[in-house]
Amino acid sequence: MHANRRRFSAREYTARQQKTRAAMIAQNLDLLIVYDPSNINWLTGYDAWSFYVHQCVLIGSAGELFWFGRGIDASAAHITTDLAPNDIIAYPDHYVQNPTLHPMSYLADLLHQRKLHTCRIGLEKDNYYFSASALEALYGSLPDAAFADATALVNWQRAVKSPAEITLMRRAGKIVESVYQRVLEVAQPGMRKNELAAEILHAGVQGTPEYYGDYTAIVPLMGMGAEAAACHLTWDEQPIEDNNGMFLELAGAHARYHCPVSRTLYFGTPTAKYRAIEQVIAEAIEITLPLFKPGNTCGEVADAFFRYLRQQGYEKDNRCGYPIGLSYPPDWGERTMSLRSNDTTVLEEGMCFHFMPGMWFDDWGFEMTESLTVAAQGGVCLAQVPRTLLVKP
């Protein structure tokens, strides 16, 4: 008998599956092959570090639902899902990284056996995990099927979080609070950046006395001085410099749900340019947060932020946020909406965003961001990290 790590009630998973089936019917899809591990988890609860090999969940508009993956990962499906044993289907290990055999060809044989080989099948084509070889194997093995691009179909069903999901994200928020507490305790000039990264990782996994820390979909991002102009750098062995600023883009994670928060840390006495941008971004956040309420659009929220930024003499040529929730590497974003002027998506209560007003200049950068949920009164932050330039004198 297997243990069970199911994170949500059977009713919640059933509701998610029903939402997905309704979206499939609207797009005239009989079957959907779900490759994204975040979507797999959201639909079934499946959770394991197995997304480096081919695996998927198949969901049919008329009731079909099964997990398909590597044989040695089937036990994880038994432990983390409520799928019936017959709906946990494994392929032989000699299909793993075999240049002449592909797991999707094995899956195609199963679809033939189940009389699903003539379906209209949706694929997550623009996805980190679904490869060109997987596509070719399906096309070649299922000549009588009709294929359609269903990228982000499941992602869009995840946009509005349930109360249970928001609870997990708030727990992740408590974890990121503890991570920043640890940063302020240990960070100092002369400390190697990799040593600071080790402290961040340790604090993130340790979590709080109440909530364990999961691994985050993105590793700690940090840049000091001129390197802070590059927003996606990780650490190296160089020491932290005195009288300089460092951005930190970090997250707490709990049960795969994320709460990213960015702050800028200054060692010494902050210069005028850091204090100036700190004030502008803090005011911009205060002005924009109330607009995260149902009925407004992503574009309207972004326009208010960018308008205030321009009034203060600053320009930002990239989006200022994206939706978050359940995720796996390499990204904690959900890849649906964007906080940019031309996004007309209407906000709904329960949507969650990483509001990301980071500023990157030619030779320095500044980040101060918030994760929030859309509520009737406006955006409600999921973590309470001091919204200031963090200073280590």
Report if pTM > 0.85: yes
CA-nearest of 308, 312, 274 to 289 is 308
CB-count burial class (<10 Å; 0-12, 13-18, 19+) for 365? buried
- Name the residue among 389, 254, 222 with its Cα closest to residue 324: 254
Residue pair 231/249 in contact by the 8 Å Cβ criterion:
yes
Cβ atoms of 120 and 28 closer than 8 Å = yes
- The pLDDT score that the predictor gives to residue 275 is 98
Euclidean distance between CA atoms 17 and 111, whole angstroms: 20
Beta strand spans in 183-243 (E): 221-224
For residue 4, the model assigns a pLDDT of 78
**How do the pLDDT tens digits run along the chain, 393 residues long?**
456 788 999 999 999 999 999 999 999 999 999 999 999 999 999 999 999 999 999 999 999 999 999 999 999 999 999 999 999 999 999 999 999 999 999 999 999 999 999 999 999 999 999 999 999 999 999 999 999 999 999 999 999 999 999 999 999 999 999 999 999 999 999 999 999 999 999 999 999 999 999 999 999 999 999 999 999 999 999 999 999 999 999 999 999 999 999 999 999 999 999 999 999 999 999 999 999 999 999 999 999 999 999 999 999 999 999 999 999 999 999 999 999 999 999 999 999 999 999 999 999 999 999 999 999 999 999 999 999 999 999
Q: What does the pLDDT read at residue 1? A: 45
Q: Give 351's strand partners.
A: 160
How far apart are alpha carbons 250 and 322 in whole angstroms? 15
**What pLDDT sits at residue 297?**
98
Domain range 10-157, CATH architecture: 3-Layer(aba) Sandwich (3.40)
Residues near 145 by beta carbon (within 8 Å), at least 6 away in sequence: 111, 117, 118, 119, 120, 121, 138
For the chain, domain boundaries: 10-157, 163-392
Q: What is the pLDDT of residue 2?
A: 58
Give Cα 44 to chain centroid, integer Å: 17
Same fold, 10-157 and 163-392: no
CATH number of 163-392: 3.90.230.10
